[in-house]
């Protein structure tokens, strides 16, 4: 694990050009911090648009890879990863031997394994490096980077990780970062579901709503992350920091791989169903909209 200064990349003179594939809420904030640290930033998105208004956009992932020394991928799912990495216009087609590819996307272990194999055939160094944290942590450069891959490649990418995050966890060989991210998000989702169900019981049992939310904000059994969600739910503010559609997708990936590993995850399976319900009505809201879904159930009961 590393907790190096965010300024170490510039201090060591190891800045260069980073090409982002995907430049949404998380990536644009990471890109801003990297630019502030001295890196040159360019990007590709299917729409040709991104979040910061100052970045040069290239027409294809291949063109981006040909122009950038390092490619950092931040896309929503397996399908987007495949479209941006493979084929004649994909990033791998534009990467040369020894180039560095860092995949920060939350995808399936199968997708990470396929990417590692494809990159290996071209002698491209690849890491699966999803991040733990939402847009506030991306903005402040305090993400936790969960990395799978060769230790020497992790060391090579460390100056970048030191800018975007407060800590880097080398989880193990290729694919380990992806699996660790599913563990983290499974716990995060199940934790939120437990808090939301506790609120639902309290309201159904007749407790005062303001008192209930205030009390839960005061107790130590609820994590800082979930207290942030609790505060937002109290006022009905579900501005997306982590959209429901992405959280439900990650839970689905977790359940699929858990079944393959014969890991019994009954609580997380139930959470996946609650998030599937929430996604139907709040796909682009923050996943804490689960509070609203359950609160409406209580309010509408006879």
Catalytic residue numbers read: 181
Residues whose CB is less than 8 angstroms from the CB of residue 54 and which lie 6 or more positions away in sequence, other chains included: none
SS3 assignment, position 199:
helix
Residues in the chain: 302
Long-range Cβ pairs for the range 169-173 (8 Å, 24+): 169/1, 169/144, 169/145, 170/1, 171/146, 171/147, 172/148, 173/148, 173/149
SS3 assignment, position 282:
coil
Quick one: DSSP state of residue 146?
E
Q: What is the dihedral of CA 281, 286, 287, 291, to 10 degrees?
A: -80
Query: Phi/psi of residue 229, each to 5°?
Result: -70, -35
Q: What is the dihedral of CA 173, 174, 176, 177, to 10 degrees?
A: 120
């Amino acid at each position: 694990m590393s907790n190096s200064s965010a300024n170490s990349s510039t201090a060591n003179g190891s800045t260069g050009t980073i090409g982002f594939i995907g430049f949404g809420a998380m990536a644009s904030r990471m890109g801003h911090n990297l630019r502030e640290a001295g890196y040159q930033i360019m990007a590709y998105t299917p729409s040709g648009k991104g979040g910061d208004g100052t970045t040069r956009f290239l027409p294809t992932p291949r063109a981006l890879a040909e122009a950038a020394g390092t490619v950092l991928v931040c896309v929503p799912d397996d399908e987007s990863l495949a479209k941006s990495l493979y084929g004649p216009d994909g990033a791998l087609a534009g990467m040369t031997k020894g180039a560095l590819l860092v995949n920060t996307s939350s995808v399936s272990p199968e997708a990470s394994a396929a990417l590692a194999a494809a990159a290996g055939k071209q002698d491209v160094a690849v890491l699966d490096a999803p991040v733990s944290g939402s847009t506030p942590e991306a903005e402040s450069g305090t993400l936790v980077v969960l990395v799978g891959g060769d230790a020497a490649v992790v060391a090579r990418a460390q100056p970048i990780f030191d800018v975007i995050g407060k800590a880097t966890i080398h989880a193990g060989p290729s694919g380990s970062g992806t699996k660790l991210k599913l563990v983290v998000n499974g716990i995060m989702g199940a934790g939120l579901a437990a808090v939301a169900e506790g609120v639902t019981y309290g309201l159904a049992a007749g407790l005062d709503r303001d008192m209930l939310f205030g009390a839960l904000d005061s107790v130590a059994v609820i994590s800082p992350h979930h207290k942030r969600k609790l505060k937002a739910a109290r006022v009905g503010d579900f501005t997306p920091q982590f959209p429901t559609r992405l959280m439900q997708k990650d839970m689905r990936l977790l359940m699929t791989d858990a079944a393959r590993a014969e890991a019994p995850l009954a609580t997380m399976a139930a959470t996946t169903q609650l998030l599937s319900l929430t996604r139907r009505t709040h796909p682009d809201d923050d996943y804490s909209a689960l509070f609203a879904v359950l609160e409406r159930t209580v309010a509408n009961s006879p």
